[in-house]
Amino acid sequence: MPRDWIDGHLDLAYVSMSVGDLTTEPTPERPRGVSLDRLRRGRVGIVAATIFVDPTDEARGTEWGYGGSADWEGANRAALAQIALYEGFEREGRAKIVRTLADLSAVEPLKLVILMEGADPIRNSGDAARWHAMGVRMVGLSWARGSRFSGGNGNGGPLTREGLDLIHALDGLGIVHDASHLSDESFDLLASTTDAVIVASHSNSRALLPGSKRHIRDDQVREIARRGGVVGLNLCGNFLAEGRPATLADAIDHVEHIARAAGTRAVSALGSDLDGGFPPDAVPEGVRQPDHYDALTDALAARGWSEAECDGFAAHNWIRVLRRALAACPTPAAP
């Protein structure tokens, strides 16, 4: 059944810079699952579009790379280039950056909720307001390798003093916390430091893949649900199954396990991460691009999810989170 969709995690700027211009269709030489036209065809009206700047050695010297947590200048430069790309989409009428609750309600064009994946571009807690003025409405303190602010899922470690200060600054601006790449220690400290909404924009169940701390624990799911947040299903095949190609059924298993752990299906949403460093053939067959997303809710319906629950997974659960956050968000200052 056709539905309207929100995708809670797409690296649109990073993909457009590193893989291919999103205003064009993919080619066999440069395959990718996402384009602006594919989002339109899939009725994806709202996207959490990331600022993802890459600290890996392979990205050094690129437009999207920087030299690690000590390189604030590089992280800032790369992040500003990605904001500029989104602002270009806006000037061209291809997208609208969501800054206010009224922006979220607009019908056309594609709406972009800016999500900073890894906070190294933020110089310190006093710098958070600058990014809020440029449209950032969600922040994950760390990517996998950690940041000046927190440990990441790849290396562990707690929040730093700077991280604790930044949490309070983000709360004051109404910016949503994204826990997808936090270390366990940092997630637990975040939860004990703030009463604000927490989401995991693109995470799956660690109970189904116990060998990887990339995924979230059942008790973390319950904490996110208690605050009215959501957990976005990540479609990367390696994050759905181990040692074999993942299937659509594997994806639905993760959705259902997270809903059972939370005690509510209102926690379940989509955060596909399509093109997040992997090609389309790394995604389960049948859901390799946005105009295939209806296969997810068709499969949930086949497992007994009601129409309202399927609509919640497709869009309404994210809408609830975003409306609450934007209603509490102060009027953006001039950038």
Identify residue 173 by its one-letter amino acid code. Answer: L
**pLDDT bracket for residue 328 (50, 70, 90):** confident
Q: What is the DSSP letter of 100?
A: S
Looking from the CA of 252 toward its CB, the CA atoms found within 13 Å total 19
| Residue range 317-329: mean pLDDT, rounded | 93
Residue 317's closest CA among 253, 258, 239?
Answer: 258
pLDDT averaged over every residue in the chain: 95
Strands 198-199 and 231-233: unpaired
DSSP class of residue 149 equals: S
End-to-end Cα distance, the chain: 42
CA atoms of 277 and 54, how far apart (whole Å): 11
Q: Where are the domains of the chain?
A: 5-327
pLDDT tens-digit series, residues 27-55: 888 888 899 999 999 999 999 999 999 99
Q: For residues 290 and 184, what is the distance between their CA atoms, to the nearest angstrom?
A: 31
Asked if the model's pLDDT at residue 277 lies above 80, the reply is: no
Structure tokens at 188: 């637990």
The structure tokens listed for 148 are: 């000046």
Tell me the per-residue pLDDT of 81-132, one tens digit each, with 9 for 90 and over.
999 999 999 999 999 999 999 999 877 799 999 999 999 999 999 999 999 9
In whole angstroms, what is the distance from residue 248 CA to residue 85 CA?
33
C-alpha R_g of the chain: 18
pLDDT at 332: 66
Other CB atoms within 10 A of residue 91 CB: 9
> Is 326 exposed, middle or buried, given 0-12, 13-18 or 19+ CB atoms closer than 10 A?
buried
CB distance 317 to 230 below 8 Å: yes
CA proximity to 151, closest of 190, 124, 195: 190
Beta strand extents in the chain (DSSP E only): 5-10, 44-51, 95-97, 110-117, 136-140, 176-178, 198-199, 231-233, 268-270
**Confidence (pLDDT) at 275:** 77
Give the per-residue pLDDT at 168: 98
- Across the range 201-210, mean pLDDT stands at 97
* Alpha-carbon distance values, 56 to 146, 180, 233 (Å): 12, 19, 25
Please tell me the predicted confidence (pLDDT) of residue 28. Answer: 84
pLDDT in tens, 173-194: 999 999 999 999 999 999 999 9
Reported pTM: 0.96
Q: Any idea which residue has 């009601």 for tokens?
A: 306
d(Cα 148, Cα 269) in Å, to the nearest integer? Answer: 29
Hey, how many other C-beta atoms are within 10 angstroms of the C-beta on 233?
A: 28
pLDDT at residue 267 greater than cutoff 70: yes
Q: How far apart are CA 173 and CA 106, in angstroms?
A: 22
Share of the chain above pLDDT 90, in %: 87
Instruction: Return all residues near 8 (Cβ < 8 A) that are at least 6 apart.
Output: 48, 199, 201, 202, 230, 232, 269, 270, 271, 272, 318
Residue 13 has pLDDT above 90, yes or no: yes
Model confidence at 211, pLDDT cuts 50, 70, 90, reads confident
Protein fold of 5-327: TIM Barrel (3.20.20)
Average pLDDT over residues 133-146: 96
Quick check: helix, strand or coil at residue 87?
Answer: helix
pLDDT of residue 334: 55
Q: How much is the pLDDT for 286?
A: 95
pLDDT at 50: 98
